[in-house]
Amino acid sequence: MSKQTQAFYDRVASLVISKYNSLPRKGKPIVRTDGTPEWTTLAGIVLETDSSLECVSVATGVKATPDQNLDKHQGRVLHDMHAEILCIRGLNRFLLNECLRLNQHKSKYIRRLEVPVPAKIESAYPLSLFGPTTGLRIHMYVSESPCGDCSLSTTASTYYATAKEIETWQAELERLPNGLVRGRDHFHHVGHVRTKPGRRDSPLSMSKSCSDKLALKQFTSLLSGPVSNIIDSTADDDDDCEASGFYLSSLIVPRSEIVTTDFARAFRGRLADITASANYFEFIGTDVEFAHSRKQLSEKGTKPCPYAIVHIANGKSEGTIMGVRQGFKPSPTCKGPSQVARIEIASTVRRVLEQEGVALSENIGYLEFKDLNRARRALKQEVYKDLTVWASTKSDDFKF
């Protein structure tokens, strides 16, 4: 049962939308020259401490990089540009920036932990240099239900398919060669790990749906692999919060987007057999609406906005397209990676380690460093096994 009131969750949603409205125009949906309005998905993360709320990460976006391109970009191109995932990456960058600023100011969200000097010198990872402040709670607003298993009913109700397609999808589950189910196929087969994007005429991506990724993060926390090597996800003191530390406490979406049976299955039911401890978030409806959602009415219909936006409270606001900042082209030597691209997150982790006097090999690769957290890797494998299929995307390794 929620410890908050409906007014509280409406306030969280309004904070995210208000922050978005205050951002520069660059990267936001427009009305095209033929009169067709663009739409996008908005997501934002709000941190709660001592009854105060701050929106620290905002993102928009509906695209994903085709899998065939991923091993060419040296961490400089975003794989997943869906708003939910971008704003989680924004939270990770926000926390790293807070770590870098701890010598100048006290953070409301993160604190240094007492780590013995010998442990720092040996540098056995995960090396928990930092942890969350007491009583921290994290809330996420999304302007529509996350893609994948939790939104199958709403997707089916708005998707036009031929009678033959519907008959085929109902009769037999068709999987990709690696076992995944393509995003929007087979609405009536539920509980499966799905890809994004969902359209059959789009280049294939093996990036998992937002439903699947959010379900996983109930076990692993919102921290990414490299960040979890230096930041502990859980407070080390007694806390009566349902989800303390860097776990999501609530997912807030428009009330019209919530089909309770879908949400309960996607984020609870299909995970019931996992023995590992989970920090389940609440899913809450709100009547607060986002003006640039796909629900906007137009005689000409609507089109998805090709751009994505990432805003970080202690960082910057940027517009991206094709996985890099506007004005740049995706390539292994791209000079304009997003502030939340893999190369930028990893490089910032290195800067934090240097600030704390911890040496990190100059030749270490991204995937090698990420996998040093063996407990996290084992936990992910346990969740993957219960979900039956979790095929990997192409690797995107690089030195940082």
| Separation of alpha carbons 360 and 351, rounded Å | 10
Query: With contact defined as beta carbons under 8 Å apart, do 96 and 227 qualify?
Result: yes
Lowest mean pLDDT among 66-80, 89-103, 192-206, 359-373: 192-206
**pLDDT digit string, tens, across residues 75-87:** 999 999 999 999 9
Beta strands in 30-109 (DSSP E): 38-39, 42-49, 52-60, 62-64, 80-82
**Per-residue model confidence (pLDDT) at position 295:** 85
Start-end of H helices in 126-285 = 152-158, 163-171, 210-220, 225-228, 260-267
| Separation of alpha carbons 101 and 89, rounded Å | 19
The mean pLDDT value for 179-201 works out to 81
Identify the CA nearest to 393 among candidates 167, 203, 205. Answer: 205
Comparison of pLDDT for 72 and 33, the residue scoring more: 33
Neighbours of 397 (CB within 10 A): 14
Q: At what angle do helices 83-100 and 342-355 cross, to 10 degrees?
A: 20
In sequence order, the 6+-apart residues with CB closer than 8 A to the CB of 42 are 16, 17, 20, 58, 59, 60, 83, 141, 142, 143, 290, 292, 293
**pLDDT digit string, tens, across residues 191-209:** 999 999 766 777 889 999 9
The helix or strand, by DSSP H or E, that contains position 344, with its residue range, turns out to be helix 342-355
DSSP category for residue 210: H
**pLDDT digit string, tens, across residues 230-254:** 999 986 554 444 457 999 999 999 9
pTM of the model: 0.93
What are the C-alpha distances in Å from 220 to residues 89, 130, 178, 227?
14, 17, 24, 12
